[in-house]
Amino acid sequence: MPVINFLTPCIFDSGALKQLEVTAKKLGITRAFIVTDPGIKAVGILDKVVAALGGTPAGIFAETVANPTEKQAKIATQAYKDSGADGIIALGGGSSMDHAKAIGLMASHDEPLENYAAIIGGAKKIHKIPPLIAIPTTAGTGSEVSIGMITTMENGRKETFASPFLIPSTAICDPDLTLGLPTFMTAATGMDAVTHCIEAVLTPTVNPPAEGIGYDGATRALGGGWLVKAVKDGSDPEARWHMMMASYEGALAFVKGLGGVHALSHAAGRLHEKKLHHGTLNAIFLPHILRFHDGAADEKYVRLRLAMGLKPKADLGDAIQDLNDAIGIPKTLSDIGLTAADGPGIVEYALKDLAHFGNPRTMTADDYAKVYEIALG
């Protein structure tokens, strides 16, 4: 069974879930607390994980909401403490991963949670959290190997937390767990992975290894056509393998940073009543942000065209829009329920988001407002 050691050990292959019991033992987890969501429970994946664990978990929290919140993390953290657990298993997409990280952080650190936000330098206050095994069931966020987590705070702000201590102790990436993923979720989470790769490449931070990984992820998902193949045939194990790898690579790459797409998506995602999917938001914003930054990173645009299998003078924004159309991503923000009235608040929060500082060309409030207006349709 291949084990990739980069930021953290990652057991990566079809059937990797079988390694859960031995992995937990190696980490000293004897009473696991599983964090997941209602959908994963409903389709039977939670049962598979419990069986692979080889024993009864200390507790299960299966109510994780999309775009996890500080309010829910407080409830789940108390459940973790009450269970007597000595480790956490995160099972699901990015929301379950981030929620599990928040539980680990809150269970081992003093309140309030906002003290540890990256934007105020909170990373230096973060220390060791309980052992955490991450098992992704989508191929998009890469949170299973990332240094960060995103949480919507009780004040309404969507905060980024980043520290090496938030990287899961071990990731178990089993592409077979994504074989039943619905077409729309395959497309949306796949575009999340693509956006990670592209924005990580474009951010001006100097980190050639991470940048190289970002190019490879883009080549895999786009140039190799594996995203389209996974959307068209969700039962294709090879396509699922490559998209989980692209997702993994996207997270390794964004240690370098992200940019305006994520600043806007994070800001919009805090509107819980809208029930917006992060990957869908990324996909809609990405063509417009690519057009805005055209000319600010010419050499990288040349290499991205090569990675994506495009002609030398191709418009990257047009190429992404064509891809969105091909895999069924909604065309505009209006199509997913956002309005002009939502714009000012989204722009305000985007300017405060950590990802905002990774833009290759400085973006002002007016720039974000214009991108939002165009993306609204």
Q: Rounded CA gap, 156 and 139, in Å?
A: 28
| pLDDT value, residue 156 | 83
Average predicted confidence (pLDDT) for the chain: 95
pLDDT at 5 over 70: no
Quickly state the pLDDT bin for 2 (edges 50, 70, 90): low
Domain boundaries, the chain: 3-177, 180-376
| pLDDT value, residue 49 | 97
pLDDT at 273 over 90: no
pLDDT at 152 over 80: yes
Residue 216, token pair as written in the block: 């490879």
ω into 112 cis (within 30 of 0)? yes
pLDDT at 323 over 80: yes
What value does the mean pLDDT take over residues 309-327? 97
What value does the mean pLDDT take over residues 259-283? 94
- pLDDT tens track for 165-188: 999 999 999 999 999 899 999 999
CATH superfamily membership of 180-376: Dehydroquinate synthase-like - alpha domain (1.20.1090.10)
285: amino acid identity, one letter: F
| pLDDT value, residue 6 | 75
Share of the chain above pLDDT 90, in %: 92
**83 membership: H or E segment, kind and range:** helix 70-83
Please name which of 152, 171, 120 lies closest in space to residue 278, comparing C-alpha atoms: 152
Please name which of 129, 132, 175, 101 lies closest in space to residue 23, comparing C-alpha atoms: 132
| pLDDT value, residue 1 | 65
* Burial track 25-52 (b if 16+ CB lie within 10 A, e otherwise): eebebeebbbbbbebbbeeebbebbbeb
Residue 237's CB is within 10 A of a number of other CB atoms, namely 13
Q: How far is CA 254 from CA 192, 216, 262, in A?
A: 12, 13, 11
CATH class for the domain made up of 3-177: alpha beta
Q: Rounded CA gap, 181 and 140, in Å?
A: 12
- pLDDT tens track for 226-238: 999 999 999 999 9
Global pTM value:
0.92
First to last CA, the chain: 47
Strand partners, 35: 61, 90
